[in-house]
């Protein structure tokens, strides 16, 4: 069984790589047919990721989000589906290229950490696990989209300001579209992030008796949450938008990534995967 | 008339940055510089073209470099160091000058290749020059020819149909910034023709509403009516910034009319919504430092050209065809010039008369049989004095300096050529 599971993961990697490559080819050539193909491949990758996670769920008997590998795969999965669901509603020109490359990078990172299946620590055996971890990871998915949007915004803004219209000018959507994207992803991501923190603290109350006990991961989640809170607040009160918002989306994402990895490796704590 | 040559000198958007062009631009209209140019000796005919992208002078002169120096002095004055001038200036002579003029007229030298505005500007410039009697037969012919070359290029190539103008570039940039232009408001500051055109394009792209700010309110009201917009006075410029998104500025003001600090203050009440400024005035209206403000985008006329540059490749094929037409017409005109110049006419006349004399002499000599060397000499002498006497008056007529600065050589050449059956310079053209 585990063999098949590993094989499935390798398949996910390969398919996602092909999707990313196809998107890059599309980005360079702007050939619409290639984009169509790339989209289908990315959809296939999304389905395969879902299968992989489902398979692993059956295999380990709980939501596969407790090891580092699993968490990052989940992250990639959330980004993929956040993007695909997003695309459903409206298109942002050439956004797919950036997102797919990010998804592939995440999956690649996940492949370097142990794929091993480990028994679950008693403290984590709860219905809250899928709720808390799932919601948080979905938040990360949206926030990573905001990151990609922010990156694109900065690239395009630089070309517009420097008045050197080159590569990105022709290929990128309008600044407004990127800013809108940022705003939507930020709002969605922020709501899920808040839910993640609330469910986490309820779960903590049940498992350890306190809502909050300043575990490093909790602290960093809170920092991340505040970073996004500031963005949401500023956007709706004084109209923080454009470059500032894009920079903040990138800073926020850096904080997300640190919460996910940095904390585990550098600071430890109850959230350390499979501790 | 001998040694007469066509000289074209000027600056354009390719050779000279806007910072320099705005110092040269003749903002006072044509009258003053045209009259001033009359004082330069050695210039027989001239005409002056001044648009926001170029200032060009076309001269017919028989003097040397001292005229060029005087013209450069006239153009640049003391505003720009002399040694720098030569870097910006281009100088064309004869065929090259004709070629350049045709390129300009056909809109092949324009910032936006294929745009139609230049021909109108050229015609207007010519009208002014003719009004002040600055042009003569050669330039009249040359300029009229340039109009017909432009027309030929327009009808025989597709260069105008894909004409991308500055206003098109402005729309393109606006779309890159705002995405959807609906519900966006555009403000015209000053009521220039270019601004009007840009506004027209934007409205065509669905821009929500138009505000016109102008020094004379009446003009603003007129223009606003055209776009179903509103008119405001120029004093309201800053307060209007709170409500509009796209600003096209094209006033004739000699100074900056909007400074960075003024815009910065308004951004807060705009909730940082982007502002897109287009400055198509030369000299510029807007503080170049505006670009340093977040969410503010400022483009002057040169910046727009780089957008235009991107769209160019499509038109390149047509441009090749068009420049072939220009080459062809240049050659034709050059031939016509050669045919029509006084010197060749004199030569043609001389050789015509002399060959008649020689032929008749030979015929008579063969009929006469044996005659003494002395008689023969006498006959030859008679023929040659006959021809030279016959030639005297027509040649004087041709060589005569024009009276009161009026140059009639064009007419005189035609008359002489017709009387003596020398053929028309145009015969080369019918190919």
Residues of chain A with pLDDT under 70: 88-89, 123, 267-275
Contact B26, B84 (CB under 8 A): no
CB-based contact B294 A242, cutoff 8 Å: yes
Is the complex ipTM more than 0.90?
no
CA–CA distances in Å: residue B188 to residues B172, B198, B253? 18, 9, 14
Chain B residues with beta carbon closer than 8 angstroms to that of A160: 173, 176-177, 297
**Alpha-carbon span A8 to A48, nearest angstrom:** 8
Q: Which of B90, B91, B73 is nearest to B5 (CA)?
A: B91
What string of pLDDT tens digits covers the 431 residues of chain B? 445 788 898 888 888 888 888 777 676 778 888 888 888 878 888 888 988 788 898 988 877 778 888 888 888 777 777 777 778 888 898 888 999 999 999 888 887 777 778 888 899 999 998 888 888 878 888 999 999 999 888 888 767 654 456 777 788 888 889 988 888 999 999 877 777 777 877 887 788 889 999 888 888 888 888 888 899 988 888 899 999 999 998 888 888 889 999 998 898 888 888 999 988 888 888 998 998 998 999 998 888 877 777 666 656 767 888 888 999 999 888 877 776 667 778 888 888 888 888 898 888 888 887 788 888 888 889 988 988 888 888 888 877 755 444 456 667 777 888 888 876 544 443 33
**Alpha-carbon span A191 to A212, nearest angstrom:** 20
Q: Which of B309, B170, B272, B125 is nearest to A240 (CA)?
A: B272
Q: How many CB atoms sit inside 10 A of residue A225's CB? A: 19
Kindly report the length of chain A: 275
Q: How far is A175 from chain B (nearest CA, A)?
A: 5
**What distance separates the 2 farthest-apart alpha carbons in chain A?**
59
Nearest chain A alpha carbon to B173: A160
Chain B residues with beta carbon closer than 8 angstroms to that of A165: 306-307, 310
The residues of B whose Cβ lies within 8 A of any Cβ of A are 173, 175-180, 268, 270-274, 291, 294-295, 297, 299, 303, 306-307, 310
Chain A residues with beta carbon closer than 8 angstroms to that of B294: 242-244
CB-based contact B270 A239, cutoff 8 Å: yes
**Alpha-carbon span A145 to A102, nearest angstrom:** 9
Of the partner residues A160, A165, A241, the one whose CB lies closest to the CB of residue B297:
A160
Chain A residues with beta carbon closer than 8 angstroms to that of B245: none
Chain B residues with beta carbon closer than 8 angstroms to that of A176: 177-180, 274
CB-based contact B179 A177, cutoff 8 Å: yes
Sequence ranges of the domains in chain A: 2-267
Strands (E), B72-184: 90-93
Chain B residues with beta carbon closer than 8 angstroms to that of A170: 310
The residues of A whose Cβ lies within 8 A of any Cβ of B are 156, 160-161, 163-165, 169-170, 172-177, 180, 238-244
The answer to whether B52 is a known catalytic residue is yes
CA–CA distances in Å: residue A82 to residues A71, A89, A140? 16, 11, 10
Show the CA angle centred on residue A48, arms to residues A45 and A54, nearest 5°: 145
* Residue among A94, A153, A242 with most chain B CBs within 10 A, to mutate: A242
Count of CB pairs separated by less than 8 Å, A with B? 56
Contact B410, B340 (CB under 8 A): yes
Strands (E), B94-206: 185-189
CB-based contact B272 A239, cutoff 8 Å: yes
Contact B9, B40 (CB under 8 A): no
Of the partner residues A169, A172, A174, the one whose CB lies closest to the CB of residue B178:
A174
């Amino acid at each position: 069984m585990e063999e098949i599971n590993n094989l499935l993961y390798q398949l996910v990697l390969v398919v996602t790589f092909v999707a990313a490559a196809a998107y890059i080819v599309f980005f360079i050539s702007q050939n619409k047919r290639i984009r169509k193909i790339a989209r289908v491949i990315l959809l296939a990758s999304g389905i395969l990721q879902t299968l992989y996670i489902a398979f692993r769920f059956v295999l380990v008997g709980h939501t596969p989000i407790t090891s580092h590998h699993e968490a990052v795969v989940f992250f990639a999965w959330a980004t993929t589906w956040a993007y695909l669901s997003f695309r459903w509603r409206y298109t942002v020109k050439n956004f797919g290229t950036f997102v797919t490359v990010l998804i592939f990078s995440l999956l690649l990172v996940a492949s370097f950490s142990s794929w091993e299946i480990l028994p679950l620590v008693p403290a984590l055996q709860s219905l809250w696990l899928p709720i808390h971890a799932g919601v948080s990871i979905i938040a990360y998915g949206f926030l990573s989209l905001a990151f990609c949007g922010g990156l694109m915004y900065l690239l395009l803004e630089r070309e517009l300001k420097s008045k050197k219209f080159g590569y990105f000018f022709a290929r990128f959507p309008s600044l407004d579209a990127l800013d809108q994207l940022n705003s939507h992803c930020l709002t969605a991501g922020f709501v899920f992030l808040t839910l993640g923190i609330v469910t986490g603290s309820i779960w903590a109350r049940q498992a350890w008796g306190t809502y909050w006990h300043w575990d490093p991961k909790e602290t960093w989640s809170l920092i991340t949450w505040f970073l996004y809170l500031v963005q949401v607040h500023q956007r709706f009160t004084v109209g923080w938008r454009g470059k500032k918002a894009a920079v903040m989306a990138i800073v926020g994402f850096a904080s997300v990534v640190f919460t996910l990895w940095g904390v585990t490796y550098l600071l430890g704590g109850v959230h350390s995967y499979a501790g | 008339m001998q040694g007469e040559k066509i000289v074209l000198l000027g600056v354009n958007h390719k050779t000279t940055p806007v910072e320099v062009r705005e110092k040269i631009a003749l903002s006072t209209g044509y009258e003053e510089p045209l009259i001033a140019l009359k004082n330069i000796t050695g210039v027989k005919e001239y005409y002056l073209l001044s648009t926001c992208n170029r200032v060009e002078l076309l001269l017919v002169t028989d003097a040397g470099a001292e005229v060029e120096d005087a013209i450069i002095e006239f153009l640049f004055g003391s505003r720009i160091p002399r040694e720098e001038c030569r870097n910006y200036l281009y100088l064309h002579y004869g065929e090259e000058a004709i070629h350049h003029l045709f390129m300009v007229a056909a809109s092949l030298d324009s910032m936006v290749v294929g745009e139609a505005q230049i021909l109108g500007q050229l015609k207007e410039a010519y009208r002014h020059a003719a009004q002040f009697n600055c042009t003569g037969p050669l330039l009249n012919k040359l300029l009229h020819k340039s109009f017909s070359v432009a027309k030929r290029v327009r009808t025989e190539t597709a260069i105008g149909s894909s004409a991308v103008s500055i206003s098109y570039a402005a729309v393109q940039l606006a779309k890159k910034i705002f995405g959807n232009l609906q519900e966006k408001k555009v403000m015209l500051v000053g009521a220039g023709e270019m601004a009007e055109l840009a506004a027209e394009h934007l409205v065509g792209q669905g821009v929500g509403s138009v505000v016109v700010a102008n020094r004379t309110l009446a003009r603003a009201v007129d223009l606003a009516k055209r776009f179903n917009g509103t008119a405001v006075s120029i004093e309201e410029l800053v307060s209007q910034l709170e409500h509009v998104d796209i600003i096209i500025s094209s006033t004739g003001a000699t100074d900056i009319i909007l400074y960075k600090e003024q815009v910065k203050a308004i951004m807060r009440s705009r909730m940082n919504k982007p502002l897109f400024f287009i400055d198509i005035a030369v000299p510029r209206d807007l503080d170049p430092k505006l670009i340093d403000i977040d969410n503010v985008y400022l483009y002057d006329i040169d910046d727009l050209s780089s957008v235009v540059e991107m769209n160019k490749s499509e038109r390149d094929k047509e441009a090749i065809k068009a420049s072939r037409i220009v080459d062809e017409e240049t050659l034709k005109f050059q031939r016509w010039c050669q045919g029509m110049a006084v010197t060749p006419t004199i030569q043609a006349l001389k050789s015509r008369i002399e060959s008649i004399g020689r032929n008749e002499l030979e015929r008579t000599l063969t009929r006469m049989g044996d005659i003494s060397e002395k008689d023969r000499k006498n006959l030859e002498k008679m023929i040659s004095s006959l021809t030279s006497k016959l030639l005297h008056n027509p040649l004087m007529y041709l060589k005569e300096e024009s009276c009161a600065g009026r140059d009639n050589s064009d007419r005189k050449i035609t008359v002489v050529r017709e009387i003596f059956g020398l053929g028309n310079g145009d015969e080369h053209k019918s190919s």
